[in-house]
Amino acid sequence: MTIRPASDRSLHVVFGDRIATDSYAAVTRLMHGLAGARGILNLHPAYASVLIDFDPRRYTHEQMETLVRERLELPSPPDPEPRQVDIPVEFGGECGPDLEDVARHTGLAPEGVVERFTAAVYEVYFVGFSTCFPYLGGLPAELATPRLSAPRKNVPEGSVAIGGQQAGVYPLASPGGWRLIGRTRLRLFDPQAVPPPLLRMGDRIRFVPEAQATGGGGLDERRETLPEARRETLPEARRKTLPEARRETLPEVRG
Amino acid sequence: MNTVRIVSPGLQTTVQDLGRFGWAHFGISASGAADAFALRAGNLLVGNAENAAAVEMTLMGAAFEFEANIVVSLTGSDFGAGLPLWSAMEVKAGQTLRCGPSQSGARCYLCVRGGIAVPKVMGSASTHVMTGVGGRPLRAGDLLPIGNEAIRRPRATKGIPALGDGALRVTDGPQAESFADELYRSAYTVSEESNRMGLRLRGAAIASPAGQMLTEGAPLGAVQVPPDGQPIILFVEHQTTGGYPKPANVISADFRRLGQLRPRDRVTFERVTIEQALRLLQQQEQWLYGI
């Protein structure tokens, strides 16, 4: 483990330089240990590290490092029962323009790719990047496909993708270089929902082909496993402040 | 409820406070005022708590009409309103406060005594422009409710704090050892593609070890260098994790200068220690406490 300042108001705790079970376990232990600590403004977990943003008026880096070491000594909490979330996906065609390429690269038929992809159970290692992007572990090794050499300028919202040995879902339209094999209509980030993020660290994900999802009750299953709050709608006042804002493009900053 | 009406919206005018903390592990950065120092000073001048919500204007200011007499302040850059900056003043019912193009830096804040009382979303009134969390940029005709959360008497003024125009001060980032000192050797220009997510710089390419590291957390003010060697300073709506190496991080005391950078401005970097950075921050805090 190395602990060092990332800035004058943050500390970077690194447990390793690759994706490994023990370093990821340390990440979850530290996330749990620091939950609710006063003066910590934000925690950024990743595969093998946690970045801690703190209020420099409340902590020095040395004090924060001491706190980190103390909290890592605490006994690990029993693993909570992970939430199971089914994500309905329409594979191939317009929704998954790279499915054929993944099939070619892996030597499988497109149906074979979908079959293996949907047979696996994925774990949300962490959520980050830009707005609720879930980094998923559990992609079957035979489906690993390199990223595009030139990223797309605009990946549609809900795109389900393979990037090297990782799988992920784009919560918002954004640029991206992963291979798009399908698309979900489930919103991973919904500003109208409370809370807006759907997935969190530790969730277990299954991808369900759309036809089965609607016919076979995959969505209902997912809803049952979600906490009640997620489905609450927002008070009227709040909705008025959010008219289709997120679809707007960012005004360009000009001189 | 007393209101302020947006007569014309300017280029990108939003409601901001000091940010929405505690959501980085969902990939949602804090957002909040791009020049938090100016927002805090403006709030203190009108007698608000420093975290009260106010209006942030970018490059081209907005025009506002007030329903009732109210104490306001304009802080940050001069947007040509023809009114004193960095001081509390009273505007009259029916009067229009009109800001125009910036005469200096990128941002100007209108703080209103009592605060802007839009509903808080996930604990903050700030607008995260990219995601729409907290609302959207203001439009003509929008009515903003004014709260009653003033906590003390307004203060006239404490003078205009110098912004400083030397090099941006940085401390070493997590991958500082993987870089030569190219970042410190030449000047960079702020690109037109900059926004609240990131300030994109153009200049001499920096040799970057991009592509060799595992995705990790990224803090506000991080200078990251993608494979093309053109640095990006992560700003208030930054991504929470990333895989590009970070040779440096802008110090907290210079965040206000990031908020005032405009496209085509030139920047250079200077390395300082964490101790120096914290001393500079403390000086800035002392100025604020003196209001």
Taking the C-alpha atoms of residue A204 and residue A136, their distance in angstroms, rounded to an integer, is: 9
Asked if the model's pLDDT at residue A86 lies above 70, the reply is yes
Which whole-number Å values give the CA distances from A209 to A113, A175, B120, B181, in the listed order? 12, 25, 38, 51
How is residue B65 written in tokens? 């009409």
Burial class (CB in 10 A: 0-12, 13-18, 19+), A183: buried
Looking at residue A244, its pLDDT comes to 33
Confidence at A177, pLDDT banded by 50, 70, 90 = confident
Looking at residue A149, its pLDDT comes to 76
Asked if the model's pLDDT at residue A150 lies above 80, the reply is no
Which whole-number Å values give the CA distances from B25 to A35, A133, B30, B222, B268, in the listed order? 11, 10, 11, 17, 32
Asked if the model's pLDDT at residue B50 lies above 60, the reply is yes
Q: How does DSSP assign B96-162, residue by residue?
A: EEE--B-SSSSEEEEEETT-B-PPPBTTB---BTTTTBT-----TT-EEEB---B-S----B-----
Taking the C-alpha atoms of residue B131 and residue A249, their distance in angstroms, rounded to an integer, is: 10
Average pLDDT on A6-33 reads 93
Highest mean pLDDT among A65-79, B100-114, B203-217: B100-114
Q: Do B262 and A128 touch (CB under 8 A)?
A: no
Which whole-number Å values give the CA distances from B203 to A129, B123, B191, B264, B274, in the listed order? 26, 39, 10, 11, 27
Average pLDDT on A25-49 reads 93
Looking at residue A226, its pLDDT comes to 42
Asked if the model's pLDDT at residue A180 lies above 70, the reply is yes
Confidence at A238, pLDDT banded by 50, 70, 90 = very low
Taking the C-alpha atoms of residue B232 and residue B194, their distance in angstroms, rounded to an integer, is: 9
Confidence at B287, pLDDT banded by 50, 70, 90 = very high
User: Nearest to residue B264, comparing CAs of B106, B130, B108?
Assistant: B106
Looking at residue B29, its pLDDT comes to 94
Taking the C-alpha atoms of residue B72 and residue B109, their distance in angstroms, rounded to an integer, is: 10
Q: Higher confidence at residue B236 or residue A193?
A: B236
Lowest mean pLDDT among A147-151, A207-211, A214-218, A235-239: A235-239
Contact (Cβ atoms closer than 8 angstroms) between residue A86 and residue A218: yes
- Those residues whose C-beta lies under 8 Å from the C-beta of residue B71, and which sit 6 or more positions away, are B46, B47, B88, B89, B90, B91, B112, B113, B154
Confidence at A240, pLDDT banded by 50, 70, 90 = very low
Q: Do A131 and B28 touch (CB under 8 A)?
A: yes
Question: Does A165 lie at the interface with B, CB-CB under 8 angstroms?
Answer: no
Total Cβ atoms within 10 A of residue A136? 24
Q: Do A252 and B192 touch (CB under 8 A)?
A: yes
Contact (Cβ atoms closer than 8 angstroms) between residue B138 and residue B14: yes
Q: Residue written as tokens 């909040």?
A: B32
Question: Does A42 lie at the interface with B, CB-CB under 8 angstroms?
Answer: yes
Average pLDDT on A174-199 reads 88
**Percentage with pLDDT > 70 across chain A:** 83
Q: Do B173 and A6 touch (CB under 8 A)?
A: yes
Lowest mean pLDDT among A236-245, B9-18, B137-146: A236-245
Looking at residue A230, its pLDDT comes to 38
Asked if the model's pLDDT at residue A82 lies above 60, the reply is yes
Taking the C-alpha atoms of residue A23 and residue A26, their distance in angstroms, rounded to an integer, is: 5
Angle at which helix A61-73 crosses helix A21-34, to 10 degrees, equals: 110
Asked if the model's pLDDT at residue A174 lies above 50, the reply is yes
The secondary structure element, H or E, covering residue B285 is: helix B274-289
Cα maximum dimension of chain A: 58
Looking at residue B227, its pLDDT comes to 85
Asked if the model's pLDDT at residue B131 lies above 50, the reply is yes
Asked if the model's pLDDT at residue A168 lies above 70, the reply is yes
Taking the C-alpha atoms of residue B98 and residue B63, their distance in angstroms, rounded to an integer, is: 4
Beta bridge partners of residue A51, listed in sequence order: A12, A44
Average pLDDT on A121-149 reads 91
Question: Does A44 lie at the interface with B, CB-CB under 8 angstroms?
Answer: yes
Contact (Cβ atoms closer than 8 angstroms) between residue B110 and residue B151: no
Q: Do B121 and A238 touch (CB under 8 A)?
A: yes
Q: Do B130 and A42 touch (CB under 8 A)?
A: no
Give per-residue pLDDT as tens, B134-183: 999 999 999 999 999 899 999 988 889 999 889 999 999 999 999 999 99
Q: Do A53 and B219 touch (CB under 8 A)?
A: yes
Confidence at A80, pLDDT banded by 50, 70, 90 = confident
Average pLDDT on A56-64 reads 95
Taking the C-alpha atoms of residue A251 and residue B60, their distance in angstroms, rounded to an integer, is: 12
Contact (Cβ atoms closer than 8 angstroms) between residue B18 and residue B127: no
**Percentage with pLDDT > 70 across chain B:** 99
Asked if the model's pLDDT at residue B230 lies above 60, the reply is yes
Contact (Cβ atoms closer than 8 angstroms) between residue A94 and residue A148: no
Confidence at B243, pLDDT banded by 50, 70, 90 = confident
Average pLDDT on B2-7 reads 96
Looking at residue A187, its pLDDT comes to 93
Looking at residue A212, its pLDDT comes to 54
Predicted complex ipTM? 0.95
Average pLDDT on B66-88 reads 97
Asked if the model's pLDDT at residue A114 lies above 80, the reply is yes
Average pLDDT on B217-227 reads 95
Confidence at A130, pLDDT banded by 50, 70, 90 = confident
Write out chain B residues lying below 8 Å of A4, CB-based: 174
Taking the C-alpha atoms of residue A138 and residue B118, their distance in angstroms, rounded to an integer, is: 42
Asked if the model's pLDDT at residue A246 lies above 60, the reply is no
Confidence at B211, pLDDT banded by 50, 70, 90 = low
Q: Which of residues 164-193 of B touch A (CB under 8 A)?
A: 171-174, 192-193
Contact (Cβ atoms closer than 8 angstroms) between residue A51 and residue A43: yes
Q: How does DSSP assign chain A, residue by residue?
A: -EEEEEETTEEEEE--SS--HHHHHHHHHHHHHHTT-TTEEEEEE-SSEEEEEE-TTT--HHHHHHHHHHHHHSPPPPPPPPPEEEEEEEESTTT-TTHHHHHHHHTS-HHHHHHHHHHS-EEEEEEETTTTEEEEE---GGG-BPPPSS-EEEEPTTEEEEEBTEEEE-SS-EEE-SEEEEE--S-SB-TTSSSSB---TT-EEEEEEHHHHHHHTHHHHHHHHS-HHHHPPPPHHHHHT-SSGGGSPPPPP--
For residue B247, the distance in angstroms to the closest alpha carbon of chain A comes to 10
Write out chain A residues lying below 8 Å of B263, CB-based: 253-255
Average pLDDT on B237-249 reads 93
Looking at residue B90, its pLDDT comes to 96
Q: Which of residues 119-158 of A touch B (CB under 8 A)?
A: 126-133, 135
Asked if the model's pLDDT at residue B11 lies above 90, the reply is yes
For residue B221, the distance in angstroms to the closest alpha carbon of chain A comes to 8
Q: Do B217 and A128 touch (CB under 8 A)?
A: yes
Looking at residue B214, its pLDDT comes to 86
User: Nearest to residue A40, comparing CAs of A25, A24, A57?
Assistant: A57
How is residue B209 written in tokens? 């070890």
Cis peptide before A195 (omega within 30 of 0): yes
| Mean pLDDT score across all residues of chain B | 95
